[in-house]
Chains A and B, each alone.
Chain A
């Protein structure tokens, strides 16, 4: 089976701070990868490198068989701007802070990029957007501005907005971390449903329950390295890596 994401030896440095020190990540079609690890370990940076919100210093990234960036002897070489933008937006991204467009209604948020970027037929896009809103349970909020929504509702709109682009991969960066505890459930439920539909997903999360029950693979990152990876069973029930054990001890207490 072809890998949806193939990242090799990703190195990324901010000024003097080495954040990623040679990360390898493979994500197969339909896989749900949970990325866990201590704060500052480079999890967000890794996601942001995958869709070129950050550029990498070394390594290569292939998305859906297309090379976004490759390693050469004289440094990395990105695909031309237009191609790399197209490749990067095969991945929908959901942010911790939602980042909905506040000057647009819920529906306008969803149809903006399909109409403006993909130049798809507006009526058709609206129909699909309404179906997506129905799926995340927010069709009645179609004409509301984001500020009127709760955090959980905003995040579900953000997920629907990303899906409206028909991405082949979804990236989530701590989608529930800025939500009140009673609102995380509705977002996790939406993500669970996506996983059941075999969407390929990479989820940075502190929700160990989600990682344990929904992920097909768990990646533990710390200090810019992948310290351990495996099935949820291997990571949570029989951790062998010392740092992982220490991390789980703290977080599952």
Chain B
């Protein structure tokens, strides 16, 4: 293969497979694109196993089976077994509402290393309203207990926003109660569905500060028992996060139909074209495809990033957010206080968070997104 990578390009560490966009839930911050892919376009089992072979051969170490809801695919066990056979660390990212004891046992037998279950709130009424799925919370609790009973490692993923942040202490208690070794407190990120619902989700600055203090105290109190990872909404930060550890540096995302993306939201950026695993080897796409090369490294950067000491620390922040907030993916992420757009973004966040809209635009195929 003549896919000679750019000088010094390291292999990716992880790949996330969106096995399907089908999901019984309708979370208003879903990370799937607004334009959801249909079931008939999904890759077949044999195509996914080839992707896993190629990923392992190029140095990928971890595979995240995600979606949509990955357990909606009946070949999930076969794919997990295949990945485990290639030495890949296997992680299942699930809403858990379709998981029962038998399925969990089959996944454990296939060699699954770890399960991450998302919770929409700490109690059923709020969780079922946010997820748009009556009865979902109770199913998640039952599934989480079965995951632990099967001896699998469990992470609880708590997606937080203005309408559930008051339950953060209870979420931490829930993680302890369920025996999770790790809790991800992830503030909603505002692209795609999250952006369409920003006015209903964005926390106030006061809420955010309280949440950060709660997490810091809980980390100390539960040290050695529960690891808490914390993803902040960077609208209120002074510097942006290093989105994906830098564009096209560590991570690959593959859509249900096989499109290879540098991050799950990359399709929100107009003018980028994405190659498909059905047409080209994964290693060649990683090394050479236009979408990966476009924002890789620091060569694309404008000022103020270009001459900034943090250029190789945060990589200029998030490209999708730069497009969403400043109208151009090739600009400094407006979450950065050095961006000329930062003041306007911060003012918008504060205004929306104080206005208190509650209604959601639920995720669904063909939903109408109000402007």
Do A and B associate with each other?
no
Chain A residues with CB under 8 Å of chain B are: none
